[in-house]
Amino acid sequence: MNLIKVRFLKNDTPYGRAYTYIANDDFEVGDVVQINESAKGIVIEINVDESEVVGFADKLKAVIGKVVD
């Protein structure tokens, strides 16, 4: 399982805390990703250790993919 940390974007500015998501593709720090149908975020960390999510790993969601302009 490949895990990344993402911060939501509001008016193209990162805000709030970081959330961990499953990444089915390869991402780099700084990539903008589609989190769900209406929200975008920016990758702030890649290769997150699974030990950080052991208590809630079954609740993690996957990002949809990289935003392509």
Q: What is the pLDDT of residue 11?
A: 93
CA–CA separation, 5 and 49 (whole Å): 11
Query: Span 6-10, mean pLDDT?
Result: 97
Report pLDDT for 3: 97
**Cα separation, 43 vs 19, whole angstroms:** 10
Is the pLDDT at 1 greater than 80? The verdict is no
pLDDT tens sequence across 17-59: 999 999 999 999 999 999 999 999 999 999 999 999 999 999 9
Query: What's the pLDDT score for residue 68?
Result: 86
